[in-house]
Chain A
Amino acid sequence: MRTTAGGADGEAVIAAAYEARYERHPAAGRDTTALLAEAFAGALEEAGLTAADVDGLGVASFSLQPDHAIDLCWRLGITVRWLMEDPHGGASAVNLLQHAVRAVEAGDAETIVLLAGDHLDRAAFARLVRQYNRATAEQLVPLGYPGPNALFAMLTTRYGEAHGLDREDLGCVPVAQRAWAGRNPGAVYRAPLSFEEYLAAPPVATPLTRYDCVPVVAGADAIVVTRRERAAGPTVRVRAIAQLHNDDQQQDDRLRSGFATLAPDLWRTAGVGPEDVDAAYVYDDYPVMAVVQAADLGLVPGGDLRRWLRRTLVEEAWPLNTSGGQLSAGQAGAAAGLHGVVEAVQQLRGRAGERQVPACELAVVTGYGMVLYRHGACHGAAVLERLS
């Protein structure tokens, strides 16, 4: 193996994606490392490559500890010359992708597998929530804070009042995504969700109900980033990536998020506009965040949110979060960020089965998260394009 940079000016592509099946209650032995290994093998097989081809590894996981990326290399039996670990949850995938693409273009690595996954049992999940960061442990836990639902409940109220959106408007996100989930055998919730059922659900943190909160699952996701000439079949090119972190010091009302600030650069670099994308994958930890991101990225024509929610998403089934999103497919810890990338790649490669979007050539995918005190501090977005 060459250990210095070489073969620069390569074109980097995403050659394949894979999701290790999400489950609410995984069988014994399907632990975090086993899930990551399953995703690793699955993505390489999809790419027509083997573990021996891999010379770079990036991973995001809340439950890998005390292991790190190097321990995972050892357990997977791979030798690498590019190694990264990203602790930034829902923002980790776009961040890792940005670095991986540059590494392959520069010749620092030839074939990188990006992995994300978690199996958090009830106790581990509760620990993660309470010790998410110092701001949470020191400021929020003493309030009797059981997790981010309360913060996003208040953001939902604020955003709804500012834009004249009622519960049924915001419910369009989970209802529309559940319809997509019905065509995704990998989603944990697939039965149709009616507005009646949505509105009748008991509150979790007013005004949020169970259907506004993601089901915690065990699972893992993977993509393979490699030089174009190494990839077989349809591949995916990253046209642009933009990120913005800690842009508001947790003091803004977030009626416009960091995505509104990064969007002009993102689209300019990509050389396309939001009106050109065939599908979008926004980080749906809560319905309101899906709406905020879609609006801030310019995906809502004329800014008419109600029309977009009721007509575009529900009636016309416009391709937003076509896996069912985290709200229906599940949130597998730190895999939440990569989940959307994987679904975008499956759609762009024409591998999405019953839910395949016809002629899907261009998609936008976001990463969001790391609730610091009041809301997520990390924003990232990528524009992905199918290469034939």
Chain B
Amino acid sequence: MSTPLRIPICDRCALALWPPRTLCPRCGGGAWREGDGSRGRAEQTTDLTGDGAPRLATVRLDAGPVVIARAPGVAAGDRVTLSLDAGALQADPDPGSHDRG
């Protein structure tokens, strides 16, 4: 069951983070609300070798954080949608994004 990525946002200074942490690196706050982390752009990808080995991508979220995600069918430069699937962050290309390269 995959759900759109929600990310912690510092209650005090509004810094968005992924992965979640204990204290805010900008203001030291420790209270968080949730925000949308489901949109972003793939910056680099890598193909691991071996049977069923995944393609991974570095993705810059529109909300700010830079994350690592499983990225089947994603090319560098693609706009992507991020979801959490059994604890694994997945990036899927937005329709129409891929052919732009």
B-binding residues in A (CB < 8 A): 135, 138-140, 142-146, 149-151, 153-154, 157-158, 202-208, 249-251, 253, 373-374
Q: Choose among B46, B52, B65, B66 the residue that contacts A150 (Cβ–Cβ < 8 A).
A: B46
Which residues does chain B contribute within 8 Å of A138, judged by CB atoms? 19, 87
A144, B55: Cα distance in complex, Å? 9
Q: Is the CB of B46 within 8 A of A154?
A: yes
> Binary interface profile of B, 56-78, with partner A (CB < 8 Å = 1, else 0)?
11100000011011100000100
A-binding residues in B (CB < 8 A): 19, 25, 43-50, 52-54, 56-58, 65-66, 68-70, 76, 86-89
Q: Is the CB of A251 within 8 A of B68?
A: no
* Given A145-B56, A154-B56: A206 in contact with B19 (beta carbons within 8 A): no
Most buried by A among B52, B54, B57, B68: B68
A151, B54: Cα distance in complex, Å? 13
A206, B54: Cα distance in complex, Å? 12
Q: Is the CB of A143 within 8 A of B86?
A: no
A204, B50: Cα distance in complex, Å? 9
Q: Is the CB of B19 within 8 A of A157?
A: no
Q: Is the CB of A144 within 8 A of B44?
A: no
Which residues does chain B contribute within 8 Å of A250, judged by CB atoms? 66
Q: Is the CB of A373 within 8 A of B54?
A: no
Which residues does chain B contribute within 8 Å of A205, judged by CB atoms? 46-49
What secondary structure prevails in chain A residues at the interface with B?
mixed
Q: Is the CB of A249 within 8 A of B68?
A: no
A157, B70: Cα distance in complex, Å? 17
Q: Is the CB of B19 within 8 A of A143?
A: no
A323, B58: Cα distance in complex, Å? 33
Which residues does chain B contribute within 8 Å of A139, judged by CB atoms? 19, 68, 89
Q: Choose among A142, A158, A249 the residue that contacts B25 (Cβ–Cβ < 8 A).
A: A249
A204, B43: Cα distance in complex, Å? 20
* Given A154-B58, A202-B49, A249-B25: A143 in contact with B44 (beta carbons within 8 A): no
Q: Is the CB of A144 within 8 A of B54?
A: yes
Which residues does chain B contribute within 8 Å of A154, judged by CB atoms? 43-46, 56-58
Q: Choose among A142, A206, A253, A374 the residue that contacts B46 (Cβ–Cβ < 8 A).
A: A206
Instruction: List 5 A-B pairs, Cβ < 8 Å.
Output: A143-B69, A151-B68, A203-B47, A250-B66, A374-B68
Q: Is the CB of B88 within 8 A of A142?
A: yes
Q: Choose among B45, B47, B68 the residue that contacts A143 (Cβ–Cβ < 8 A).
A: B68
When C-beta atoms are compared, the residue in chain B nearest to A248 turns out to be B25
Q: Is the CB of A143 within 8 A of B66?
A: no
Q: Is the CB of B65 within 8 A of A204?
A: no
Q: Is the CB of B86 within 8 A of A153?
A: no
Which residues does chain A contribute within 8 Å of B88, judged by CB atoms? 142-144
Q: Is the CB of A374 within 8 A of B66?
A: yes
Q: B76 CB to closest chain A CB, in angstroms? A: 8
Which residues does chain A contribute within 8 Å of B25, judged by CB atoms? 249
Q: Choose among A142, A208, A249 the residue that contacts B87 (Cβ–Cβ < 8 A).
A: A142
Q: B44 CB to closest chain A CB, in angstroms? A: 4
Which residues does chain B contribute within 8 Å of A157, judged by CB atoms? 44, 46, 76
Q: Choose among A142, A207, A253 the residue that contacts B86 (Cβ–Cβ < 8 A).
A: A142
- 3 nearest A-B residue pairs (beta carbon): A153-B46, A142-B88, A154-B44
Most buried by A among B19, B48, B57, B89: B48
Q: A286 CB to closest chain B CB, in angstroms? A: 12
Which residues does chain A contribute within 8 Å of B66, judged by CB atoms? 250-251, 253, 374
Q: Is the CB of A251 within 8 A of B54?
A: no
Q: B18 CB to closest chain A CB, in angstroms? A: 9
When C-beta atoms are compared, the residue in chain A nearest to B58 turns out to be A154
Which residues does chain B contribute within 8 Å of A146, judged by CB atoms? 48, 50, 53
Which residues does chain A contribute within 8 Å of B19, judged by CB atoms? 135, 138-139, 373
